[in-house]
Chain A
């Protein structure tokens, strides 16, 4: 199966289940999780079912095109299903069958994996899915995002496309993957790997990146104040990428590192809160649609988890006013 056919097959499979197929988010991100289609939409009570390819930049993993498995940029096929369908594992296994991984021919296993992203204030539980001992997918039930509980819980499926294809095509190096007949991954991306690795590991300008980090962070906070969580989140992502570049360059010391991670996480938290406030102001419009994927059995004990959003008020004008007063007092003092 060609690299391209793998993508098309997965897209078709998830589209058939009722997912929206969006295009890759157009900013530098380290993982499909960071695209707003995942990070923001995993929040709140609204349904959300989406599949997309996300080019993911990991500056520290750049190996100048010399390592057969590690890349500055790889591609993730990302699926978000919210609420997670009862038969999500079956839907997923069906996608494996469609790309030629028959569970009667391969040892397909769900192996415990706890996922946590300190920069996103997010965590979840799930598995690495193994095919004959190889990790082919990250399967996570989101529990928290940006410090907020995920109610309902979204299932995230992240297929590592290059890794899957090297296995399907039985080649040792990602560069030997056939993208389409006659064109190899090497021809498409090798030069990109060489140059991007050189840039990230040797050529980037830390002074500029530190300045950009500060500026992006400031802009993110300003936009939050202006009640514009979506552009604010773009700046949060830029901030995160600047941090990744600095980290890859070895420009951040061990002691500073934790502090930078906290700054990135704080941005993500503010955006998550701003996004939830915005959706609440809009009346959580997607809850009024009948959009679901897979089996969605009724809750039989207690209240549905998503009822939580009916009981909390995210926009708290009264409190906010008090806060402003306090700030003014502080400034006056």
Chain B
């Protein structure tokens, strides 16, 4: 009869961010172990709070399933002698499996014939399987940081206090450090401190709920949101939405109990970002807004205990915030005493990166690069704003407020620039040059911030690659992947047309004094090539989300120096690839490319000479081609790649006839070479949009 399984690890308060990944580990290890042992089971649920990690598996079978396996032994040649008698090797193999030699069979594999045997493997009883599985699971959680406790040599996120391991109504023995398993769990630390004996695994959730613990993360989150929203409404405001904060607070409490507090209205003249940060970053308070979206002088703190008298604990919550706001006000007032411009020089004492120099040096480099970009992206009109905003863009790093709240970089720059009388466009560019901060974040709304953001990130990217610290695997300490994606998104989002490789060259030129002594590893590509290759990788990943990867590769293969054009080429080509008439076109192109690749090397360059054509089909193709080429050129110049593709597609009948009727590899050398030159030109025409040979014909056909 199927039984349910419960595993609970009770611990001292586990960091909020550890809980979900730990539960994923537990669930994965258990599921893998059960699958390996062919132990069937039903639904798997997890529970987690700061004090517990738990997994409930429904309907676990009594034993793993029996299987019959074929085991391969020595090769038939080694197992039987010339007379067909079994050798020592065969006997040993049979003996190992406790079978007689006669019971052995033969199996032919790709590598030849082997001796084989059919072995029946009995499924182990569930208790035995799970005892091992639970041991592995509780020891197999990868915490970002773990610790030892007492005199124990085992490590966990925080000291383990109790273990529950129940299969049906039976306890399974599991040991972790100085704790052994049983059926006793504990409720809320203060509201239900006594032991709770669990009769059956499925009692778990309700037993804890009675003991003031909402163990299901999803339910606890929903309860938190509901309670906090209601509290906000009651306080006459609405919640400032913050999913990250909700997630975090959910895993800081076992039972969410919001209380509404307030702060002195006079602090409302601080920038709202500062107030929100003050409430959120250390205290994890929620902010409240009025109907117009303005901050109210109120907050919601979420307590883990529904205290007897809210007013008493509010005294504490408000007191802490009062001290923090006093600090914030102090920084804000002090910081504004010095004009932002006067702080720039101080950046010379802040190191950005040891080899690449201080922030002041970085600012000087990317200011120059931003100017270059303004010229080349046809935004020369922005040059003055770019110059000033770039100069000031990092000056807030040496203010007291950003020292205290690094998250406010950019925002404080904007506020302090305004306070110093800088033009609004400059102030805005300072804060917007950090945008987008992540994949979901908004782009800069104006050119100056966008161009500075591009320059700053290109400088980081080129500099870090040039000193050989490119991201490898999961290690990306300078968040270059994110920077690269941000560059792509800004360029496309704002439609900047400049040569990416030229911009990389310019960034590297500006970095050159810092790179004089850098030695490259032998065989390593030049930084320029590494950076562009990195872009190619990001583009592939980004565009591959919405387009077929072979189509993305085909487009990238003919270049992405103009990112906007590359995107347009992709968007023109991608819908065509699915069409039924596309595959023959790709096939025709592939024939062209094959011949050019095979024969082209030996052919001297130069133009096709139409006078040398001898056959009608090649003259026809040439006429069609010449007309198409002009039109494709016009379309490409107008960014109309769909139009260009239409022209190219129109050539297909003529190309087909050409291949049917004309012998490219003619005896006559001149004739032959002229034809290859012609095909090279046709290939080049196709290449204006994409390298069609990269598109997989089978996939294209299947899609059609």
In the assembled complex, which residues on chain B have CB atoms less than 8 Å from the CB atom of A167? 316, 319
Q: Evaluate whether A302 and B154 lie within 8 angstroms (CB atoms) in the complex, with A84-B149, A106-B316, A153-B148 already known.
A: yes
5 interchain residue pairs of minimum CB distance: A132-B316, A112-B15, A110-B13, A107-B303, A152-B151
Report if B704 contacts A (CB, 8 A).
no
**B309 and chain A: residue at smallest CB distance:** A105
Asked whether B175 lies within 8 Å of A305 as measured between CB atoms, the reply is: no
B residues near A298, Cβ cutoff 8 Å: 178
Residues from 115 to 144 in A contacting B, C-beta threshold 8 Å: 124-127, 131-134, 141, 143
The residues of A that contact B305 with a CB separation of less than 8 Å are 103-104, 106-108
A131–B570 alpha-carbon span in the complex (Å):
58
B window 135-157: CB within 8 A of A: 145, 147-154
Which of B148, B161, B313 is A107 in contact with, Cβ under 8 Å? Answer: B313
Residues of B within 8 A of A300 (CB): 175, 177-180
In the complex, what residues of A have CB within 8 A of residue B303's CB? 107, 132
- The verdict on A146 contacting chain B, using a C-beta distance below 8 Å, is no
A residues 276-333 near B (Cβ < 8 Å) are 296-306
Q: Which residues of chain A have C-beta atoms less than 8 A from B149's C-beta? A: 84, 141, 153
**CB nearest to A132 among chain B residues:** B316
B3 CB to closest chain A CB (Å) equals 26
Subset of 11 A-B contacts with CB under 8 Å: A103-B305, A104-B190, A106-B305, A106-B312, A107-B316, A111-B13, A132-B314, A133-B317, A153-B150, A300-B177, A304-B151
Residues of A with C-beta under 8 A to B314: 132
Query: A152: which of B150, B180, B285, B320 is its contact (CB, 8 Å)?
Result: B150
Please, which residues of chain A bring their CB within 8 A of the CB of B178?
86, 297-300
Cα separation A84 to B149 with both chains bound (whole Å):
7
Sample of 19 more A-B contacts, CB < 8 Å, known A297-B150, A300-B180: A68-B323, A104-B190, A104-B305, A106-B316, A111-B13, A114-B145, A125-B147, A127-B13, A132-B316, A132-B317, A152-B150, A170-B315, A172-B319, A298-B178, A300-B178, A301-B175, A301-B177, A303-B153, A305-B152
Quick check: is A9 within 8 A (CB to CB) of the other chain? no
Total A-B residue contacts, Cβ distance less than 8 Å: 138
Task: Name the residue on B nearest A149 (C-beta).
Answer: B148
Does chain A have a CB within 8 A of B364? no
* Interface residues on chain A, size class: 35 or more
Binary contact readout A236-257 vs B (1 if CB under 8 angstroms, 0 otherwise)? 0000000000000000011100
Residues of A contacting B252 with CB < 8 Å?
109, 111
**A-chain residues with CB within 8 Å of residue B283 when the two chains form the complex:** 133
B179, B283, B305: residue with the most chain A Cβ atoms closer than 10 Å: B305
B158: A residues at CB distance < 8 A:
125-126, 141
Residues of A within 8 A of B320 (CB): 132-134
Q: Which of A110, A124, A299 contacts B147 (CB 8 A)?
A: A124
A89 within 8 A of B: yes
Inter-chain contact B175/A105, CB cutoff 8 Å: no
A125 to B309, CA, bound (A): 32
CB pair A109–B304 under 8 Å, yes or no, is: yes
B424 to chain A, nearest CB (A): 34
Chain A residues with Cβ below 8 Å from B190 are 103-104, 108
Contact partners of A305 in chain B: CB under 8 A: 148, 150-153
For B151, the chain A residues whose CB sits under 8 A away are 83, 151-153, 296, 299, 304-306
Q: A110-B13, A304-B153 are in contact. Are A104 and B308 (CB under 8 A)?
A: yes
Say if the beta carbon of A24 comes within 8 Å of chain B. Answer: no
* B17 and chain A: residue at smallest CB distance: A112
B79, CB-defined interface residue at 8 Å: no
Closest residue on chain A to residue B312 by CB atoms: A105
B542 lies within 8 A of chain A by Cβ: no
Q: Which residue of A is nearest B148, CB measured?
A: A153
**A204: CB under 8 A from chain B?**
no
A254-B351 CB under 8 A given contacts A107-B305, A132-B317: yes
Interchain nearest-CB distance for B264 vs A (Å): 13
Instruction: Tell whether A69 is near chain B: CB-to-CB under 8 Å.
Output: yes
